[in-house]
Amino acid sequence: MCGRPGMGSRNTDDTPEAGDEDMDFTPITRAVRKWRERGRARQELQRLTDLELADIGLSRGDIDSVVRGDIVRARPSGFYEAR
């Protein structure tokens, strides 16, 4: 709740409001959401150690390609399937 009388509380964080999934988002809003999702994915992958990345068939240099979607999945042979 705001500190001013008569003012309701506003959701100012990034948590979705009830019903957000039903809204018709504009292309710009969708693009911003995708950009933020890619940023989160990049951060999560960068937090992994080199050994953890190797366990999932990636190296630190692959992170940007994976986040962009250029590398869809790692093959058991160590080669990557590109889009």
pLDDT band of residue 73 (cuts 50, 70, 90) is low
How does pLDDT run across 28-62, given as a tens digit for each residue?
999 999 999 999 999 999 999 999 999 998 999 99
Is pLDDT larger for residue 25 or for residue 54?
A: 54
How much is the pTM? 0.55
Residue-level pLDDT at 18? 54
Contact between residue 57 and residue 65 where contact means Cβ atoms under 8 Å apart: no
CB-count burial class (<10 Å; 0-12, 13-18, 19+) for 2: exposed
